[in-house]
Amino acid sequence: MDEQKVTLNRSLGLWSALSLVIGTIIGSGVFVQQAAVLDKTGSVSGALWAWLAGGVMTLTAGLTIAEIASQMPKTGGLYYYMDKMYGRIWGFLSGWMQIIVYGPAMIAALSAYLGILLVDFFGMDPVMKIPIAVGTVVLVAMLNFFSNRIGASFAIITTLCKLVPIAGIIIFGLFFGRQDALTASVSTIHASAGNFGVAILGTLFAYDGWILVANLGGEIKNPEKRLPQAIVFGILSVSIIYLLVSFAVFKSVSAEQVHRLGIGAIPYLANKSFGLIGGRILSIGIIISIVGCMNGKVMTFPRIMYAMARNKELPFSKQLGYLNQKTRTPVISIIVVVAIAIIMILFFNADRLSELCIFTVYCFYVMAFVGSFKLRRNGQKRPFSAPLFPLTPLIAIGSSLFVLGSEVMNDTEGVVVSLLIVACGVPVYMYQKRKPD
């Protein structure tokens, strides 16, 4: 097969895309954020409202992007949308930030946390955390060297596996919980609580990752229809799961205990509900959840690099835009993104690096949401229309501005570094633009 005629394999159906949305969102956030959200609101009802508000805000963002995606179902997702709505440099900068720091840092942070969990689960020497983290990233990358159907199948399997312990927690809590969940509050922190906005911010980060399936627009069957369905139904499903898990936890464990246990609240519930075996099953569920989440990111972020390389916007574009003739996957782009992630595991604080990019990610979100008005004004055909327009994109814009404002107030230094990371892409773009074809 001529290399120039090799294209991405459009083989992913609705279930694959939906599993990627759910699997990429549900990592460890739902398991570790319960106490943090409760502490910020001071009451169970406040915490539940925060999870609901985060879900509604994320859904409005998803509906808005779904409308854009139905009009531009191409590989690269946000990078492609920014390119077409605002010009090449804005597309490049959004892609640059995602492939150089944000994506690799998220992969690295997940793998580092996974290393900690596996060392604890098997009682290994703590020195093994880094080798396990690196080894897991390499194995997930190798899985994605094969046809995209392999990665998608893995996403479906891990999503189903992670839902088993979640379903156990929900069922036990709803039917056997004995706490008066809705009226409980935390007296020990009530005087200093009440920061509902910060609680919502925590839930928004737990919902993050829903947009990554858009990077696979060139590999989804009937993407004008299936891509919006996957985004909308995926976010709806996760919102319901998060609310049910939160309610189940607070119905089974007192608010004071959740506050005291912190990130150990859900493991405590699993041990209480199902004994030692239940705790082990939950740990396995969290491990699978993180691996599935990592797989979604390893599968989607290199597609941005591939799309940028195909547009000759990156150094070594010929190599980065290469597709394996047999598997039709961007093998070189996967290797490069994973290599950057491994460097971050070994030498940097990956959690902090991923946090640094939150500000610019949401800047590009706002631009994309505003772009939906631009597309409507141009009268472009819409296979999918966001309901309650213009309210839906306005809520999405307001939610993103809220995150931006919170970042500026709480992490001004990080905001500056985030902008500098993006700015570093400008000379790269100018150099590539001036190069002869």
pLDDT in tens, 22-57: 999 987 777 778 888 888 888 888 889 999 999 999
d(CA 210, CA 152): 15
Q: For residue 2, is it within any domain?
A: no
Average pLDDT over residues 377-393: 91
d(CA 167, CA 144): 28
pLDDT at 336: 97
CATH number at residue 191: 1.20.1740.10
Angle, CA 221 vertex, CA 216 and CA 227 arms, to 5°: 55
Give first-to-last CA distance, the chain, whole Å.
24
Average pLDDT over residues 113-138: 92
Sort 127 into a burial class: Cβ within 10 Å, 0-12 / 13-18 / 19+: exposed
d(CA 120, CA 139): 20
CB 425 within 8 A of CB 92: yes
Rounded alpha-carbon distances, angstroms, from residue 29 to 23, 110, 295, 345, 371 = 12, 11, 16, 20, 30
Across 63-77, 190-204, 381-395, least confident range:
190-204
- Considering only residues 62 and 204, tell me which one the structure prediction assigns the higher pLDDT: 62
Average pLDDT over residues 91-96: 97
Average pLDDT over residues 54-77: 95
- Considering only residues 56 and 271, tell me which one the structure prediction assigns the higher pLDDT: 56
Q: For residue 151, is it within any domain?
A: yes
Residue 211 pLDDT > 80: yes
CB 406 within 8 A of CB 198: yes
Q: What is the pLDDT of residues 168-192, one digit of tens each?
A: 888 888 887 776 656 655 655 544 4
One-letter amino acid at 306 equals: Y
Which residue range is the domain that position 131 belongs to? 11-434
Average pLDDT over residues 222-236: 95
Q: What is the pLDDT of residues 216-228, one digit of tens each?
A: 999 999 999 999 9
Band of pLDDT at residue 193, cut at 50, 70 and 90: very low
Band of pLDDT at residue 280, cut at 50, 70 and 90: confident
Q: For residue 4, is it within any domain?
A: no
Q: For residue 5, is it within any domain?
A: no
Q: For residue 3, is it within any domain?
A: no
d(CA 91, CA 264): 41
Residue 231 pLDDT > 70: yes
Q: What is the pLDDT of residues 99-112, one digit of tens each?
A: 999 999 999 999 99
d(CA 81, CA 359): 19
pLDDT at 183: 63
User: Secondary structure of the chain in the HEC alphabet?
Assistant: CCHHHCCCCCCECHHHHHHHHHHHHCCCHHHHCHHHHHHHHCEHHHHHHHHHHHHHHHHHHHHHHHHHHHHCCCECCHHHHHHHHHCHHHHHHHHHHHHHHHHHHHHHHHHHHHHHHHHHHHCCCHHHHHHHHHHHHHHHHHHCCCCHHHHHHHHHHHHHHHHHHHHHHHHHHHHHCCCCHHHCECCCCHHHCCCHHHHHHHHHHHHCCHHHHHHEHHHECCHHHHHHHHHHHHHHHHHHHHHHHHHHHHHHCCHHHHHHHHHHHHHHHHHHHHHHHHHHHHHHHHHHHHHHHHHHHHHHHHHHHHHHHHCCCCCCHHHHCCCCCCCCCCHHHHHHHHHHHHHHHHHCCHHHHHHHCHHHHHHHHHHHHHHHHHHHHCCCCCCCCCCCCCHHHHHHHHHHHHHHHHHHHHCHHHHHHHHHHHHCHHHHHHHHHHCCC
Residue 14 pLDDT > 80: yes
CB 419 within 8 A of CB 364: no
Band of pLDDT at residue 422, cut at 50, 70 and 90: very high
Q: Which of 358, 261, 355 is nearest to 38 (CA)?
A: 261
Mean pLDDT of all residues in the chain? 89
pLDDT at 437: 61
Most confident of 113-122, 165-174, 369-378: 369-378
Scored b (16 or more CB within 10 A) or e, 64-100 reads bbbbbbbbbbbbbbbbbbbbbbbeebbbbbbbbbbbb
User: What is the number of domains present in the chain?
Assistant: 1
Band of pLDDT at residue 347, cut at 50, 70 and 90: very high
Band of pLDDT at residue 271, cut at 50, 70 and 90: confident
CB 170 within 8 A of CB 30: no
pLDDT at 74: 93
CB within 8 A of 139, min separation 6: which ones? none
d(CA 386, CA 369): 11
Sort 229 into a burial class: Cβ within 10 Å, 0-12 / 13-18 / 19+: middle
d(CA 146, CA 76): 19
d(CA 178, CA 252): 6
- Beta bridge partner(s), residue 43: 185
Percent of the chain having pLDDT more than 70?
95
